[in-house]
Every structure is written in C-alpha cells, then in structure tokens.
C-alpha cells in the first residue's frame, strides 16, 4: 500500500515569523536616524532658522542703504546692477536686502519692488528726481485689492507700455509716478527712490506713498 505524502506544518510551540512587524521596526529605526542626522546638520543654523521663523528685519519696509536683489529667476538673491535692468522693460522684480546683516526683506509681500529703465526724457520732473540713469522703482503691489502687478503691456487707454495688474486690469504709467491710467485702482503705486552704489542699485529713501491695496471699511 502506498503511503500518502506528509504535509509540512508548524508546531504550536514554534515561533511564527512576523515580517510586517520587523519591517515596521526597521522603518522606525530609519526615521529616527534621519531625524538625528537632520538635527546634527542644523546645529550651525540660527535659532530662528531652526524654529522655522523669519530672521529679524525680514518683514521691515525697505530702508535707506538697502541693496536690491532679484526676487525670482536664475539670479534670485543676487545683487541687481544697472546693467541688469533692460532699457524699455520688462521690469525686474526685486527684494530689498540689508547689506549689514544680509537679511533679505522678503517676509512681507508688500516689500516686492518693480524696477524699470526708461528714457529719462520721458519721465516727469518728480519721477526723474527719484531715478538713477533712467532707472526707477515702485511697489509691485496694486493699490486696488493688493494683487501683484505682474504685466508690462500696451495700455488700453493709449499706445504706451504700462504696468498692469491682471486681477482687475488696473494700469499704471511709471513715467509719471505710476499714476493710474486705467482701471479701478484708487491711487498710484508707491515709489521708491534709488541710488547707485559700486555699480549696484540701492535704496535712497523710504517708500513715497501708501503701499498695498485699499483697506476694507
């Protein structure tokens, strides 16, 4: 008589492997190790950086003597020279930076600046006085609802190129102090006086005019 093949089984007394539990323990060990490495790597960071906070001064408005750095693109964070601003536009977007502490004042969106170079002969007297070699600067925040002013286009009200806020189509002429030439904005963009120091653009004074949109009543 032939004998039936035996069936393999585990004795109740034998330990049963728990691969999922082992994997979980290994994952926890790996997470703890990575956390320890990250903490060690940040020992040289400032207390504010370790806490995820913005450094002191980063939300203050531009101040006299601040330098200007690119706020976007491949050159983000680098100093802006007069040669970096193309004649006739488009505008360059910038942040002010404290040259003493190296703090970029980017913690407030109200600090973003539009820089453009135009023919000095096209600028009115007050605008020309704030410019350097035809380069002028304004707040990049629309005075209507506080949207960013991002476009440089032919005006709907004329044949000149102007700053335009794409939220509600307000337009501003930088040649005449960024006065409103079209749309619902109630006032011009705040202007920022400029100077040229060692070939780089810097702030020559505080914003002239109110920065940001109209406050709700």
pLDDT digits (tens, 9 = 90+) for 8-58: 444 444 444 455 545 555 555 554 444 443 433 333 333 344 345 889 999
Q: What average pLDDT does range 169-195 have in this prediction?
A: 97
Regarding pTM above 0.85, the answer is no
* pLDDT in the model for residue 42: 38
5 CB neighbour count, 10 Å cutoff: 5
* DSSP 3-state of 124: coil
CB 123 within 8 A of CB 133: no
Please, are residues 113 and 94 in contact by the beta-carbon 8 Å criterion? yes
Cα(41)–Cα(140) distance, integer angstroms: 36
Sequential DSSP letters for 9-20 = ---TTSPPP-HH
* Residues 121 and 89 sit within 8 Å (Cβ to Cβ): no
The pLDDT value recorded for residue 159 is 85
Q: What is the pLDDT of residues 64-108, one digit of tens each?
A: 999 999 999 999 999 999 999 999 999 999 999 999 999 999 999
Question: Is the distance from CB of 85 to CB of 70 less than 8 angstroms?
Answer: no
Contact 141, 182 (CB under 8 A): no
> Which of 125, 113, 111, 116 has its CA nearest to residue 176?
125
Per residue in 105-161, pLDDT (tens digit) is 999 999 999 999 999 999 999 999 999 999 999 999 999 999 999 999 999 878 899
Please list the helix, strand and coil fractions of the chain in percent, rounded to the nearest 5, in that order: 20, 25, 55
Residue 79, SS3? Answer: strand
């Amino acid at each position: 008589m032939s004998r039936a093949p035996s069936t393999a089984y585990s004795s109740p007394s034998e330990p049963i492997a728990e691969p999922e539990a082992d994997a979980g323990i290994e994952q926890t060990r790996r997470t703890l190790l990575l956390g320890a490495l990250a903490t060690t790597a940040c020992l040289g960071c400032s207390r504010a950086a370790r806490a995820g906070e913005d450094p002191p001064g980063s939300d203050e408005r531009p101040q006299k003597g601040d330098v200007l750095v690119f706020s976007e693109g491949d050159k983000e964070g680098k100093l802006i020279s007069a040669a970096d601003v193309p004649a006739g536009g488009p505008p360059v977007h910038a942040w002010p930076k404290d040259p003493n502490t190296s703090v970029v004042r980017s913690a407030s969106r109200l600090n973003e600046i539009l820089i453009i170079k135009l023919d000095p002969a096209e600028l009115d007297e007050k605008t020309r006085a704030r410019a350097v070699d035809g380069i002028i600067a304004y707040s990049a925040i629309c005075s209507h609802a506080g949207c960013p002013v991002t476009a440089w286009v032919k005006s709907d009200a004329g044949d000149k190129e102007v700053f335009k806020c794409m939220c509600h189509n307000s337009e501003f002429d930088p040649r005449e102090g960024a006065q409103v030439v079209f749309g619902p904005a109630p006032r011009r963009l705040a202007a920022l006086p400029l100077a040229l120091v060692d070939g780089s653009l810097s702030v020559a004074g505080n914003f002239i005019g109110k920065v940001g949109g109209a406050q709700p009543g």
